[in-house]
DNA sequence: GTCTATACCGCGATAGAC
DNA sequence: GTCTATCGCGGTATAGAC
């Protein structure tokens, strides 16, 4: 029993401490030695908890996304009009991305992954559920738009403000308050407000 | 003279053939051995043309972007109303991203670069000019919006449709025609059409 | 300009003691 | 569960012949 507790503890600690490393440096940019020294164990110890680097990485990504995505999915499944849910989703999404820098960077790394197996696994297990929820919301919002394209646009509008974060700071017109998730959310909501007219009634 | 021509030729061939490699696998994912064998020389030969991998990479990225960005900047600097230039820019931007898969992936890698020096150099030398042009266009379009945020939104809307490409294909509602740049451009233009009202006259 | 040959290092992973 | 020790590979980069 004590062993199980200790095991769970170390395993979770490895996951927890690996998140910012993989978020910042990507799969190739993090060595097992880096993780080990961050956690305070030797590299060999990692192989007791995970079969190899590949599986450790996948577990780290799933661990990092689990909680965040659950919150977003809950909002999309909640009550209120489609328009209301859209605005709540945008606001919460901006809040998550501004709060948790690791979240967006892990998504970026995932999008670039040239390893087909990893890409499929992440797409299917991690992102698909959320996309389906947004897709359904998009279908309810305005039937003049292809819901797939509209879903991508809604995600991309928020996502890109934070994805571009590092480079955006070097560009003209940058002001610190543009990093405020509330400001970004209001901008996106305003932009979508006039574009989308409710066409489905309940 | 013959030497100079030969030198230029090989150097350019290295740049040309390295683009798809770095685009697909990123800086860490490409070995000098890979480039060498693709070009058909030995790794040592690369070090005659470039001082190290870092500089080779930077030259490759600049080489890949030069032509594409010039076209986009030209459109933004061209005549017509702000709204017209916006639509032309969106259309051409979608066309470039659909045609040249390397373009967007190199941008994605650049955005993730944890090497501060590389990030700054790329931001400043490669992207800044284009952003300034879009920023000015945004200022002319609709003064209800913060031009910096609007510029980011305009870029992000097109960008994300193609950035999400690989994962999007695994998501519900995907249809092959959504990869058509004309379809994406029309979707984005429609979306922005009702959001933006011309407020500056000429 | 390009080659052969190689130095040198850091990587993932494993064996076996404790 | 974690350690020490190590193997084998593949990475960048260089020296020096041609």
Domains of chain B listed by start with CATH number? 52-193 (1.10.357.10)
Kindly give, in sequence order, each residue whose CB lies less than 8 Å from that of residue A68, ignoring residues fewer than 6 positions away.
Answer: A96, A100, A103
What angle do helix axes A53-77 and A82-99 make, rounded to 10 degrees?
140
Kindly give, in sequence order, each residue whose CB lies less than 8 Å from that of residue B52, ignoring residues fewer than 6 positions away.
Answer: none
**Quick one: pLDDT at residue B201?**
44
Half-sphere exposure of A154 (CA within 13 A, CB side): 34
User: Any CB–CB contact under 8 A between A176 and chain B?
Assistant: no
A positions 36-75 inside 8 Å of B (CB): none
Beta-carbon count within 10 A of A91 CB:
19
Residue B27 in tokens: 């800086």
- Angle made by CA atoms B162, B167, B172, in degrees to the nearest 5: 105
Asked if A105 and B120 come within 8 Å (Cβ–Cβ), the reply is: no
A positions 84-123 inside 8 Å of B (CB): 105, 108-112, 114, 119-120, 122-123
- Contact criterion met (CB below 8 Å) for A187 and A131: no
Q: How confident is the model at residue A62 (pLDDT cuts 50, 70, 90)?
A: very high
Task: Characterize B34-46 residue by residue with b for buried, 16 or more Cβ atoms within 10 angstroms of its Cβ, and e for exposed.
Answer: ebbeebebeeeeb
**Nearest CB neighbour to A178, from listed B149, B166, B195:** B149
User: Any CB–CB contact under 8 A between B167 and chain A?
Assistant: yes
Q: What is the Cα A94 distance to its own chain's centre?
A: 11
Q: How far is CA A144 from CA A127, A138, A147, B6, B198, in A?
A: 25, 10, 9, 57, 23
CA pair distance B136, B124, nearest whole angstrom: 17
CA pair distance A90, A84, nearest whole angstrom: 10
Q: How confident is the model at residue A201 (pLDDT cuts 50, 70, 90)?
A: very low
pLDDT one-digit tens code per residue, B113-162: 988 888 888 888 778 989 999 999 999 999 999 999 999 999 999 999 99
Across A161-170, average pLDDT: 90
Residue written as token pair 């006259």: B201
Q: How confident is the model at residue B65 (pLDDT cuts 50, 70, 90)?
A: very high
A159/C12 CA-to-C1' distance in Å: 34
Q: What is the CA radius of gyration of chain B?
A: 19
pLDDT one-digit tens code per residue, B156-198: 999 999 998 888 998 999 999 999 999 999 999 999 998 877 5
CA pair distance A41, A68, nearest whole angstrom: 28
**Nearest CB neighbour to A114, from listed B25, B123, B161:** B25
Terminal C-alpha separation, chain A = 53
What angle do helix axes B2-29 and B32-39 make, rounded to 10 degrees?
140
- Contact criterion met (CB below 8 Å) for B76 and B134: yes
Shortest CA gap B182–chain A (Å): 13
**Quick one: pLDDT at residue A101?**
95
CA pair distance A190, B193, nearest whole angstrom: 13
Rama region for B40: left / alpha / beta (φ>0; ψ in -120 to 50; rest): left
Mean pLDDT for all residues in chain A: 91
């Amino acid at each position: 029993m004590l062993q199980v507790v200790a095991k769970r503890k170390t395993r979770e600690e490895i996951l927890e401490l690996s998140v910012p490393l993989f978020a910042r440096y990507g799969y190739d940019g993090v060595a097992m030695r880096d993780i080990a020294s961050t956690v305070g164990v030797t590299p060999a110890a990692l192989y007791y908890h995970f079969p190899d680097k590949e599986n450790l990485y996948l577990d780290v990504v799933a661990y990092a996304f689990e909680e965040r995505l659950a919150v977003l999915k809950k909002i999309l499944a909640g009550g209120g009009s489609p328009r209301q849910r859209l605005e709540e989703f945008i606001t919460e999404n901006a809040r998550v991305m501004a709060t948790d820098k690791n979240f967006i960077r892990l998504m970026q790394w995932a999008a670039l992954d040239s390893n087909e197996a990893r890409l499929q696994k992440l797409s299917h297990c991690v992102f698909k559920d959320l996309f389906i929820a947004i897709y359904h919301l998009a279908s309810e919002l305005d039937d003049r738009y292809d819901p797939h394209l509209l879903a991508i646009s809604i995600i991309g509008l928020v996502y890109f403000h934070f994805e571009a974060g590092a480079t955006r700071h070097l560009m003209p017109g940058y002001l610190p308050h543009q990093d405020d998730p509330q400001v970004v959310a209001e901008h996106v909501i305003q932009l979508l407000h006039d574009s989308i007219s409710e066409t489905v009634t309940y």
